[in-house]
Homo-oligomer: A and B are copies of this chain.
């Protein structure tokens, strides 16, 4: 007999069917017991009347995996309008051990450390499971948007000879007896691949030895990286970023307000607006604090009906060496942050594309070109004006669902104190 899913039961009223899944909940009444079975499609109600089967169910705790053969019966008062009656139960495992929380309750009432320690079980709870499904949907939306725009997916090295963005926060490893590092981003590789494919993206892990213990930092996260050539400036990149986040939101089926053109404000103006509104003197500040990003998020929603806002032109001093300066205002850059509901979601911008500009930028920072030899080769051999951005998947899902901590929108999160499960 072929197993059907809980969502297919309604198609088989009056027939004998086989379902299988986890015992989500048991409820014993006087003359009957209810078994709620959970499979990947949802829940099914099974009515157990026969005394021997009731005895059997009594010793099968929640989460035990069972196969059930029974007859589908229409019952308007059952969830979904159908239930399975006269069941034969066949356990597929031993009786399940008890977890420190009940998965059938609407909320997972356990501390975050307990939830994370018991992740293989806790993730079965609808709230956490849903974050995993939304992540997959968001990535699918990311891909399909970019596939439609002529981008090619790439996979690049995660073990690198030198730190990408800066020397800090990098994990060191022993690579066949020589030191190497885990890539903090695919930045250099996606740029080099613009020289090959013009438009590329990568979905992959990045690694940050983050000393921060916050609700928005992880030691490993999934970075959604985009890079494209033949742009005029960062506004071409921002237009792609807008389409990408719109595609991601749409793929999840959840709501977020994204106008056809996401509002943007130059860093210099943002600092003035925020400073005036909050009564702070921010002149000379090279960056925005989280409170400032929150204010800008509120402003974008209030003034432009948008959950997203770009801040452009961040000061060069706070941006990496490959950042393209703003023509005519060289202290600022052709870069941007994308703020989603008051929190930084993505960073991007136009990059330098001339070899001589790289040599000058590195010299100005007191760095030699030798350390970047193979990266700089791409530029020596001809690279178009280009730019890109990166979105943190876990942050995106957290922001979209209102989760306070990215650890609940990540499967098996890694942080300073956690490397298991």
CB-based contact B173/A154 at 8 Å: no
Chain B minimum-CB-distance residue to A61: B382
Chain B minimum-CB-distance residue to A385: B92
Task: Say if the beta carbon of A115 comes within 8 Å of chain B.
Answer: no
Please name all residues of chain B whose beta carbon is closer than 8 Å to the beta carbon of A118 when the two chains form the complex: 377
Shortest CB distance A7–B (Å): 10
Shortest CB distance A393–B (Å): 7
One of B132, B158, B172 near A174 (C-beta < 8 A)? B172
CB-based contact B175/A129 at 8 Å: no
Task: Say if the beta carbon of A374 comes within 8 Å of chain B.
Answer: yes
Task: Say if the beta carbon of A198 comes within 8 Å of chain B.
Answer: yes
CB-based contact A96/B375 at 8 Å: no
**In the bound complex, how far is the Cα of B143 from the Cα of A242, in angstroms?**
25
Please name all residues of chain B whose beta carbon is closer than 8 Å to the beta carbon of A119 when the two chains form the complex: 192, 374
CB-based contact B96/A384 at 8 Å: no
CB-based contact A381/B99 at 8 Å: yes
Chain B minimum-CB-distance residue to A154: B411
Copies in the complex: 2
Please name all residues of chain B whose beta carbon is closer than 8 Å to the beta carbon of A171 when the two chains form the complex: 159, 173-175
Shortest CB distance A55–B (Å): 20
CB-based contact A173/B172 at 8 Å: yes
CB-based contact B195/A120 at 8 Å: yes
Shortest CB distance A403–B (Å): 16
**Which of A203-211, A280-288, A343-351 has 4 or more CB atoms under 8 Å from chain B?**
A203-211
CB-based contact A120/B205 at 8 Å: no
Task: Say if the beta carbon of A321 comes within 8 Å of chain B.
Answer: no
**Which of A106-114, A263-271, A310-318, A413-421 has 4 or more CB atoms under 8 Å from chain B?**
A413-421
**Which residues of A line the B interface, CB within 8 A?**
3, 20, 22-23, 39-40, 63-65, 92-94, 96-97, 99, 117-121, 123-124, 129, 132-133, 135-136, 139-140, 143, 147, 150, 152-161, 171-176, 178, 180, 182, 189, 192-193, 195-199, 203-205, 207, 209, 219-220, 222, 230, 353-356, 374-375, 377-385, 393, 411-412, 414, 416-417, 419-421
26 pairs, A vs B, C-beta closer than 8 Å:
A23-B382, A39-B198, A40-B197, A65-B383, A92-B353, A92-B385, A117-B374, A120-B195, A120-B196, A133-B152, A135-B155, A136-B152, A136-B153, A140-B153, A157-B220, A158-B158, A158-B207, A161-B419, A161-B420, A172-B174, A176-B219, A178-B419, A189-B411, A192-B421, A204-B204, A205-B205
Which 10 A-B pairs give the minimum distances between C-beta atoms?
A374-B421, A120-B378, A173-B173, A96-B382, A63-B382, A40-B198, A120-B192, A97-B380, A136-B153, A123-B196
